[in-house]
Amino acid sequence: MPDDQPPADRRPRRSLAQAGQGLVFALGLAACTADRAPIEAPDRLADTGLYADPARRTLAADVLPFEPQYPLWTDGAAKRRWIALPPGTAIDASDVDHWQFPVGTRLWKEFTFEAGVETRFLQRRADGSWLYATYLRTGDGAEDRLAPQGGVRRFCATADGKHHDVPSLADCRTCHEGGLTPVLGFSALQLSADRDPLAPNAVAPTAAAVDLGALVARGLVRNLPAAHVAVPPRIAARTPAERAALGYLHGNCASCHNADGPLARLGLRLDYPLAVPGPAPALATTVAVASHFRRDGAGQRIAPGAPEASTLFLRLCADDPLAQMPPFGRHLVDRAAAQLVERWIRADLGAADEPSPNHLLTKKSN
């Protein structure tokens, strides 16, 4: 969620993003490898290995559900997530912030809106690259079929007259390949048993869901630094609201705004690395830092005590494609997150005599 405009060399090729259309992280056909024919995603979700019984939608035995504590928000979609590792393999967590997934790793993420369901699929190929695909529920609900490579506009209604858009393969790669690890939401911090009770939009894990401790105990995550085995990782913060706000930025913005991806040159880091103890990089790169993107008179990325003068907050509350952040993946404002970030900036980063008029959160989306 940058406070600066995305560089011009990145914006023109994201046609859906330019049009304000949604993206999460999906779709399409696999690229060619150097020594073999192109590998394509299966035409049906049933052929990806998610289900033991596709008719009843019974999960396969090796498919494990999980819940990140700081989930990516997508216009209020209800989500379910699963992972499967090939037999005898494990994730290498030597680099606690950038896990290495074995070849053959598969992940699924199901999005459910009131009138539509889609499932995103990732699989690591033999050459180390990743296959991205999305499957859409058919009208009668009997089957999920591969979405077109260019996406689907207005796939289903969401709220306030808005619609959810299925993104393109290029948009998918923009989101997932903005850092060192294309897998998002499955990490030591996200799966920690020390869950943040204030995390916006978080869902309590089911009894079957795996967390970090369970993965280590089963041998599915190996080489995790001993400190994080002994004590479940958590965000170090001065207040509960700050912990949750930093976690939200990590889960929703850090796939692009980190120290390793193409946007590193902006000097805006919203990730929370576990490998480097100390204050969150988000504090050093936002609080009282000048903003190149100007909106409604805001001159700093975060103006301490003044959310109405903070570019980060204003872009979180924006709902037009030229100003909103994230720039794709949503058409609606995440009001729970906006209220949390407003409280954090006003109460934790600077005192205020009067409560915020909250005009940005009460206006009707347009």
- Summarize pLDDT for 329-341 with one digit per residue, the tens: 899 999 999 999 9
Closest CA to 330 of 240, 201, 233: 201
**What separation in angstroms does the CA of 103 have from each of 50, 72, 91?**
17, 25, 10
The stretches in the chain having pLDDT less than 50 are 2-38, 352-366
Task: Provide the 3-class DSSP secondary structure of residue 83.
Answer: strand
Instruction: Give the pLDDT of residue 317.
Output: 95
CA distance 57 to 34: 36
CA distance 133 to 28: 5
CA distance 312 to 303: 9
Q: What is the pLDDT of residues 167-184, one digit of tens each?
A: 888 888 888 888 889 999
Q: Name the amino acid, one letter, at 213.
A: G
**What separation in angstroms does the CA of 27 have from each of 167, 171, 338?**
7, 9, 29
CA distance 230 to 224: 10
Closest CA to 91 of 72, 82, 104, 76: 104
Beta strand spans in 138-184 (E)? 144-146, 152-157, 163-166
Instruction: Give the pLDDT of residue 324.
Output: 92
Among all chains, which residue has been given the structure tokens 């970090």? 212
Instruction: Give the pLDDT of residue 175.
Output: 86
Instruction: Give the pLDDT of residue 84.
Output: 98
**Residue 155: CB partners within 8 Å, gap ≥ 6?**
116, 118, 136, 163, 164, 165, 166
Q: Which two tokens stand for residue 133?
A: 């695909």
Number of neighbours of residue 314 by Cβ within 10 angstroms: 24
Instruction: Give the pLDDT of residue 359.
Output: 41
Closest CA to 246 of 212, 269, 267: 269
Q: Are 105 and 83 in contact (CB under 8 A)?
A: yes
What is this structure's pTM?
Answer: 0.85
Instruction: Give the pLDDT of residue 39.
Output: 63
Instruction: Give the pLDDT of residue 21.
Output: 34
